[in-house]
Amino acid sequence: MNIKQRISALYKDWSGEEIINYEIMPQSGSYRQYFRVSSKFSNAVAVYNEDKKENHAFIEFSKHFLSKSLPVPEIFAVDNHKQVYLQQDLGNTTLLQYMENIGNEEIQTIIYYPYLKRY
C-alpha cells in the first residue's frame, strides 16, 4: 500500500468514513509528512514518518502532555506499522507563527510562563 492508501485505511478504521478531502500540508522541521484529511463528519491531520522510534516518542509525549492538560493535539489512531497516525487538527497557525506574530518578548513570556510553571 502507498502512503495515501495507508492513511485512508487508518482514517476509515478510526472514523468509519471515507476521506473526501485530502490536502498535503507543508513539512515543518522534520521528515514527517502532514496531510489534512476530512470526511462528512470528521477531520484530522494524518502524519507519515518512516522513523518508528521518533513516532513512538512523539505519540507518547503527546499523550503525556495531553494528560497534563497542555494544549497539544490529541492522537486519534496509529497504524499497525507505527508509521502513520491521525491527530487532532488545531488549524493552520503553528506555534512559531503565532509567537512571531505577537513579536513582543514580554507577552511571549506571559503566554509560556503558566505552562512552564506547572512542570
User: How far is it, in rounded angstroms, from Cα 46 to Cα 38?
Assistant: 10
pLDDT tens digits, one per residue of 77-88: 999 999 999 999
Answer whether 42's CB lies under 8 Å from 32's CB: no
Domains of the chain: 3-88 (3.30.200.20), 91-119 (no CATH)
Give the model confidence (pLDDT) of 63-103 as tens digits.
998 898 888 899 999 999 999 999 999 887 776 677 677 76
pLDDT confidence of residue 55: 93
Q: pTM of the prediction?
A: 0.79
Phi-psi region of 82 (alpha: psi -120 to 50; beta: other; left: phi over 0): left
Those residues whose C-beta lies under 8 Å from the C-beta of residue 69, and which sit 6 or more positions away, are none
Q: Which residues of 87-103 are buried (b: 16+ CB within 10 A; e: fewer)?
A: bebeeeeeeeeeeeeee
Helix 95-102 to helix 105-118 angle, to the nearest 10 degrees?
140
Query: What's the pLDDT score for residue 69?
Result: 85
Instruction: Output the pLDDT for position 18.
Output: 97
